[in-house]
Structure formats: structure tokens, C-alpha cells
Amino acid sequence: MIRETKGLVRKRMEEGCIAVEMELAGVQSVCDFYNLKLYAFFETGDILDTNGYEAKGLNNANHSLNKLYIALETATYI
């Protein structure tokens, strides 16, 4: 199980990391294997460097279709 501890979060922040991606790595591996190009569109999600975690309103903040529309519009220029 992956677990973000205070020590690991602090270490990654000291290294300059501003975000952690966990799902796309597997998709990228498949694309590399089959020699396919992958164009990823990232959005922010959970904030883990605070003392508390408030999930209220998170669904509206992270899962609106507006972000999909932005990704599709961006993809037309690639």
C-alpha cells in the first residue's frame, strides 16, 4: 500500500516536487511497450501537505467537465 507520511512528503518537497502522479505511470508503460504516443493532461487533486483533510466540495473541485473540455481544446493544437 502506498502511504504518504510526513517524512516522505517533506523529502519530496525538498527535492522540488510539487505534485505526485500515481495512475498514468501504468498507461505510459503500455504505450512505451507498443510504441504509442501518449499525451497526458494533469489536473490537481488532493492536498496532502496540510494537517487536516477536508473532503467537502472536493468532487465539484476535481471532477467538472470543464477540465475535459480544456484538455480536448488543447489536444486540437498538438
Residue 33 grid cell: 511497450
Q: In sequence order, which residues have a C-beta less than 8 Å from that of residue 62 and are 6 or more positions away?
A: 43, 44, 45
Residue 58: per-residue pLDDT:
60
Residue 60: per-residue pLDDT:
61
pLDDT, averaged per 10 consecutive residues of the chain (78 residues), comes to: 76 83 85 92 66 63 74 81
Residue 32: per-residue pLDDT:
95
Domain limits, the chain: 6-75
Residue 19: per-residue pLDDT:
73
